Amino acid sequence: MYFLTGWPRRLLCPLRSEEEPFHIHPSSQRFYFAVLSETQLSIWFSRPSVLIVSYIESAKAAAQFGFYQKAEWKPDNSMIAVA
């Protein structure tokens, strides 16, 4: 069974982006989570929910390599791979 332990939160990202995030992936120990949109990757600290870093891919790189689709954390949370 799944029990909710708190109210849902709406995170306000300080960066302006017209893209909607489509993939949210927590780290294995749930200290961090990644928010992914087509050309932007944001890394957040879980508690309190604080934006650590955000990377926006250039239009030229997105055209050459394609858009982001998925993110996966390394088991020790030291790196993240984005495809």
Q: 31-50 pLDDT, tens per residue?
A: 999 999 889 999 999 888 88
Q: How high is the pLDDT of residue 48? A: 83
- At 7 the pLDDT is 63
| Residues of the chain below pLDDT 70 | 1-9, 12-17
In contact, 32 and 46? CB cutoff 8 Å = yes
What are the DSSP E strand ranges found in 4-67? 23-26, 32-36, 40-45, 50-56
Look at residue 34 in the predicted model and tell me its pLDDT: 92
Per-residue pLDDT at 46:
85
What is the H or E stretch that residue 65 is in? Answer: helix 59-65
